[in-house]
Structure 1
Amino acid sequence: MFQRFALAFSLGLMASSVLSGPTSASDRGPLQIYVSKATQTLTVYDGDEVLVTSKVSTGKPGHSTPSGIFSILEKRKYHESNIYSNAPMPFMQRLTWSGIALHEGKVPNYPASHGCVRLPNGFAKTLFSMTERGAHVIITDDPVTPRPISQANLFTPRQPIPAGGLLSDAELRPTKIEASLKPVEVAMNEVLPKTGAAAQLVLEDEPPLRILITRRSQREEVRDVQEMLTELGFDAGATDGVLGSQTLAAIRGYKRWKSIEKDGELLSPRFITELSASAGRDKPLAGQILVRQKFKPVFEAAIGIREPEKGLGTHFLEASHVDRFKGKVDWRSVSIDNHLPAPTLKRLGITEPADDAALFTAEAALARLDIPDDVRAKIETMLSEGSSITISDSGIGPETGDGTDFITVTRTKG
C-alpha cells in the first residue's frame, strides 16, 4: 500500500502538475498509478481524486512497453540495467522481473525507451517517495479512469468468527464444583476485542490481498483428472497437474475401459463428463479464484462461471475505506481492452468475446460468478485496505511467478 502523506509537493516541473483537494491525508485510501501510452502521460489517483500527473516516455517501436495490470515489485534509488549496457536507471520501481520498470530518464514528447516507463527528472524522485512495494500500476493504450462500483457479488469485510466459549476437549478443574471451594479455572479460547483501538490496529495491519478470478487452466483440469483416476484405481501418479507418463497411461486405461479411445482430444468433454460420473462427482466448475498476499500464494479454489461461452473481459478493482466492524468498503474499478486471439478463444471455449465494453462491464462479469460460501468467508475475514481483484479470461501469465502479485499482460506490442 502507498504511504500516507500530506500533499506538499514542490516539483518545479513544467512536465507535471499537482492537484490537491480538501481531503485530509488520514482519509486517503490506497493510491493507483495509471500510464497511458497513447497520451504519454502518468496519473496518480487517490480514489476519484487526481493527485499528480506527469508526461512520460514509453517504449519505442520494436521495444514496446507491455499494457496490463502490474504492481511495484522492487524499489532502488539507483539501479543499472542488466540488459542495456548498464544504463543508469535512477529511482527505479520494478514492474516485472523480465525488465520493465518506472525510472528517471530522458522524456521527449514521444515513445523513446527500450520498454520501461521513463519519468522526468525530479518527478521520478517524488513518485518514488510516494510509493511502497505492492502498489498497483496499470498501463493502457488510451487513458482510463477509476470509477466507484457496487455489485452484490463483491466482497464485504467481516470480522473473524470468534473462537470463544468453552473448549469441548479441555479438561476442567475440579470436576465437581461446591460452594465452599475457591473460584475454579476454566479453559477458554481467547477472543479479540470487538471494539477499541487494539482490535482496529490488528485488522489494519493485515496485508492487502491480491485476488485473481479467471478460467480454470489445464493445470487445474489435469489435477481433477488425476484425483478421479486415482479414486477409481488407476495409477495416475502425483496430483500435480502435469501430464506425465503415469497420468497419460491412466487416461488411456480409463478410455479403454469405457471404449472411448477414439474420442478426439486427450481431455475431451466426453472424457471429462464420463470420468466425473464414474467418480460420482459433478462436472468441474469453469472458474478459479486465486489469492496472494505479500507476493506469496495463500490459497486457490474452484468457482462457477455462468454462461462460460461468453468472455468475462479484463477488469481491475481495488478496495479502500475498509471498515470491518461496520462491514463497509468502497470498491473502484477500471475495465481494460484485451482482445484475445482466435486460438486462445478456442482453447478457452469462448464463442462470444468480451469486445463490447458497453456490455462486458465489471458488474456484468461479477454477476456471472458463483463463489462458494466458504471461499467468500475466508476472503472477507482477510479483506483489508488496498486489497484488489483482477478478473481476466486469460489466466495466469508467464510474468506471474515467485515474488510477484498477479501480473496480467493485455498487450505486448503497440
Structure 2
Amino acid sequence: MMKRFTLGLLVCAATISGVCAPASADDGRALQIYVSKATQSLVVYDGDAVVATSRVSTGKAGHTTPSGVFSILQKQRYHESNIYSDAPMPWMQRLTWSGIALHESNSVPRHAASHGCVRLPANFAHSLYRMTKTGAHVIITDDEVTPRPVYSPTLFNPAGTQTQGEALSDADLRPTSIQANGSIIEVAMAKPLPKPAAGSAASPKAAAAHEAPLRILITRRDMRETVHDVQDMLTELGFDAGTPDGVIGSKTRSAIAGYKRWKKLPEGPQITTAFLDALHESAGRSAAPNGQLLVRQNFRPVFEGPIEIADPQRPLGTHFLEATHVDRAAGKADWHGVTMDNYIPSPTARRLGIDTDSQASDMEEALSRITVPGDLRAKIATLLDAGSSITITDASDPRETGRGTDFITMTRPTPRS
C-alpha cells in the first residue's frame, strides 16, 4: 500500500499547499469551489468571501479536465482508480461517474499533469474533504472567475413563515421521465409538506421540510419536451400515443401517422413544423413555450415546467448562481453568481434557432429575459434554502446528468481566432 503512495502515479491523485479557514455557519451547504485551469488554482468561496485557496494540477493534453458546473457526488477517504491500475486517490471527492474527481496527490506541479482529475496537495485535500458535504458545487473554468452578488426580480425568494401546510399541492406540474446515460429516469411530483403536529408551532426550517438544496436548470426546450406535448395532444384528440414520456415509441409513431392521414399531411419525418402547427390548432393550444425549468433535489428529479425566453434568437449565455443565504422569516435570499464561457457549435445553434452573430446576454440581462410562471415560482419558494442553485444555459448536455447526479453542465471555451 505504501509503495503505491510513493509512485506519484500518473493519474489524478496529492502535496502540500493551500490556506484554509473555517466554513460558514451554514455548515458548508453554500460553499462553492472554483477551479481555474488557466491559473491551476482552487478557491473556496462562502458567498463572495474567500474561505480557502490552493494550487492544483488538472488534466494534461489528451486527458483534459472538463469545464462546467459539477457537484460532489461521492466522498471516500481512500479510493483506488478503477481506470488507471488501482492508482490511489486519497480524500477523493467524485464529480462525475465517468471518472473525474478532486483528490490528494504527491505530485501537484501547478501545471496540467493529471489524467483528468484535479490533483490537490495532501494537507489541503484533507482540509477540503472535512469542509465539504456531498452535493457541494465545484465550478471548473478555463479562465479564472469570481462570484459576485446578483440582484434580479427573476431570482427566487423563499416563502415566508406564514406559508405552511400543503403549499406544494396548488401547482399542477406534470410527472415525466428523462432519458439519461441510456436509462429512463422517472420524475416524481413534489410531495406536499407535512402538517405540523397538533398544538405545535412549525419553525421556518420545519415548515420548509427540506432534505437538500435545490438544483434548478433553466434551458431551452429540446425535442423531448416537444414529443411530450405531441403525445399529450394526440391522446386528447383520441389517438393512443402511449405514455407521455417524451420518447417516440411504436404507439407514438402510430398515433402521428394516424393524425397525418386524418389531416392529409405528407408522410416523412415524424415531427415537422407543419405537423406541429396543425396539431396545436386541432388541440386548441397556443404555440409551445420555448424554455424549460427543471428541478432536482438529493440527486433526483423532482418537478419541471415550461418557461418563456424573450428574444429567443439571441444566446442566453451560461450562468451559475447560488443562494448563499436564505432568510425564510423575511422571505429573502442572497444570490451570488458567475458567467462562464460556453461556445455553441453552429449545428447546435441552428437546431435551437440561435443567431450565432448575436452576443450572449450578461447575467442580469439573461435573467430579465426569463419569465417563470407563478405556480413554478411558488413550488420553488417553498423548498428554497441556502445552497440552492440555478444554472442557465442555452443547450443542456445530458451526457453526465443521470441517476445519482445533480444537473452537470459541460462547457467549452470559445475558439481563439
Query: TM-score, length-normalised on structure 1?
Result: 0.83
Which residue does 1:321 correspond to in 2? 325
Report how many aligned residue pairs link the two structures. 371
Q: 1:354 to 1:35 in 2, by over 3 A?
A: farther
Matched, 1:345 2:346: no
Alignment-derived partner of residue 247 in structure 1: 252
CA-to-partner distance for each residue in 1:213-270, whole Å, 9 max, x for gaps? 11111111101101111111222222221112222232223223323316x7532222
Cα pair 1:74 1:133 within 8 Å, conserved: yes
CA shift, 1:203, in A, is 5.0
Following superposition, the deviation at residue 355 of structure 1 comes to 4.9
| Aligned partner letter, 1:254 | Y
Aligned residue number for residue 202 of structure 1: 206
Q: Distance in 1 between matches of 2:322 and 2:369?
A: 19
**Contact residue 397 and residue 410 of structure 2 kept, 8 A:** no
Aligned match of 2:38:
38
Q: Measured at CA, do residues 28 and 328 of structure 1 come closer, stay the same or move farther in structure 2, by a change above 3 Å?
A: farther
Q: What is the CA–CA distance in structure 2 between the aligned matches of 1:224 and 1:55, rounded to whole Å?
A: 49
Q: Distance in 2 between matches of 1:346 and 1:33?
A: 34
Mapped to 2, the partners of 1:315 and 1:354 lie a distance apart of 17
* Cα offset, 1:122, TM superposition: 1.1
Query: Given residue 100 of structure 2, which amino acid in structure 1 is its aligned partner?
Result: I
In the TM superposition, 1:173-322 aligns within 5 A as 199-202=203-206, 206=210, 207-261=212-266, 265-322=269-326
Distance 1:191 1:245, change over 3 A: closer
Equivalent in the alignment of 1:66: 66
Give yes or no for contact 1:311–1:353 (8 Å, CA) kept in 2: no
- 1:213 maps to a residue whose letter is I
Contact kept in structure 2, 1:312 and 1:354, CA below 8 Å? no
**Matched residue type, 2:143:** D
Structure 1 counterpart of 2:152, which letter?
Q
Letter in 2 for 1:382: L
Counterpart AA for 2:139? I
SS in 2 for 1:122: helix
Q: C-alpha separation between the residues in 2 aligned to 1:354 and 1:119? A: 39
Note the C-alpha offset of 1:201: 4.0
Q: Note closer, same or farther for the CA distance 1:57–1:343 as it changes in structure 2 (3 Å cut).
A: same
CA distance in 2: counterparts of 1:281 and 1:97, whole angstroms? 41
| Distance change in 2, residues 1:24/1:144 (3 Å) | closer
Is the CA contact (8 Å cut-off) linking 1:64 and 1:413 kept in structure 2?
Answer: no
What is the Cα deviation at residue 190 of structure 1?
5.7
Counterpart Cα distance in 1 of 2:164 and 2:46 = 34
Q: String of CA shifts for 1:338-384, please: whole Å, max 9, x gaps.
A: 0011111111111246755xxx1121111111211111111111111
1:387-398 → structure 2 map (5 Å cutoff): 387-398=388-399
What's the secondary structure of 1:273's corresponding residue?
A: helix
| Residue pair 1:311, 1:350 contacting (<8 A) in 2 also | yes
Note closer, same or farther for the CA distance 1:279–1:25 as it changes in structure 2 (3 Å cut): closer
TM-score relative to the length of structure 2: 0.83
How far 1:191 moved relative to its partner? 5.9
Cα distance in 2, alignment partners of residues 355 and 145 from structure 1? 21
Residue 145 (1) aligns with residue 146 (2): yes
Q: 1:413 to 1:284 in 2, by over 3 A?
A: closer
Distance 1:68 1:203 in 2: 34
Aligned equivalents of 1:70, 1:343: Cα separation in 2: 25
- Flag structure 2 segments of 5+ consecutive residues without an equivalent: 1-14, 167-193
